[in-house]
Amino acid sequence: MAEFKDIVIFLMFMLCQLCALAAALEHSPAAAVPRMPNGTCLLVFGDSTVDPGNNNRLPTTAKANFSPYGRDFFNHTPTGRFCDGRLATDIFSEKVGSTKVIPAFLDPNLKPEQLKYGVSFASAASGYDELTSTNANVLSFPQQLQNLRNYKTQLTKLVGIGRSKEIIKDAVFVISAGTNDLLQSYLSMNQPNQTMPKYENYLINLTSNYVKVMNELGGTRFVLVGVPPFGCLPIVRTLFGVENCSSELNAVATSFNSKLVTMLGVLKRKLRVRAAYMDIFTIMYEATRNPEKFGLLETSKGCCGSGLMEVGDTCKNQTTCEDPHKYVYWDAVHPTERMYEIVTDYAMITAFREIFG
């Protein structure tokens, strides 16, 4: 009964988000965006949705530092981002007057001055579950948190302890993961005596603990990104042999997101922090159902290769569609820069309003 109640509450929450989305589509997004401090620092954790190239420095196959990735990035440069251009965190950073890109913390060319405006600790193919990261030989969340500690040390050396505490206190901690965990678990169920609801609860407890550590290290503003409608991913449609989205997998995503929202409410009360849920599910599902609202055309396949299976290495040196700006997906898993722009605009009138409003 409790599970059913949680789902009902979440569906009501999604309805409110859809109303906000409808309003945003009818009015200028700029008018609805709350004022945010110029130069807002972003500290980013998670998977390939927010990894700008940390995996370039790791002995893993989960990389995207080759063509055609980066086709629409500055100077058409592949950076390690699983996208044709910039990620949502890059776009948001520019919108609040910080930097045009959020650099990877492991980037050997990272300049000390950039630390003040934010970095990403994220690692493609990672997840909340350490086993997910271990299987892919990438940075686990505990390792990303250790890099946060290293960042804090470097920032203190750069600006002093007082200013360092101030920057971290005012920074927005963006956390975006979960898809790799849930998909791998669903497809393989290699967890003994495990069910999806139990595994979701396990992930939620891990996420809660990670946020608590970030808070202990000085963080006071958090945006937790929900998982997308991964039942609609082109690679999922191909593997499951379905023409439309897999409702079963989308139900898993919805269930996890509902628990994320509940957990976030508890953390806000206990830690007395500013925290918001970023509902990427609603915006991407709406773009999939009604692409014309966003100026999009193709929702069932990616721009790279056939668009049905290619991701990472299998996308390497493949031909691409003529105009990625008309596509929801760049490869068979990851959104295009255009879709990330849509997500960012939506985030700035929903999740970030709670942080700065």
Is 325 one of the annotated active-site residues of the chain?
Answer: no
Q: How far apart are CA 357 and CA 346, in angstroms?
A: 15
Q: How far apart are CA 68 and CA 78, in angstroms?
A: 7
Q: Which amino acid is at 78?
A: P
Q: Which two tokens stand for residue 68?
A: 């055609």
Q: Which of 47, 48, 133, 345 is catalytic?
A: 48
Is 334 one of the annotated active-site residues of the chain?
Answer: yes
Q: Which of 47, 72, 334, 345 is catalytic?
A: 334
Is 279 one of the annotated active-site residues of the chain?
Answer: no
* Residue of 53, 51, 154, 167 lying closest to 112 (CA atoms): 154
CA distances to 88, 222, 269, 324, 334 from 84, in Å: 12, 27, 39, 8, 10
Q: How far apart are CA 267 and CA 308, in angstroms?
A: 39
Q: Which of 72, 90, 331, 345 is catalytic?
A: 331
Q: For residues 148 and 121, is the Cβ–Cβ distance under 8 A?
A: yes
Q: How far apart are CA 344 and CA 326, in angstroms?
A: 17
Q: How far apart are CA 345 and CA 21, in angstroms?
A: 10
The DSSP code for 320 is: B
Q: What residues are labeled active site?
A: 48, 331, 334
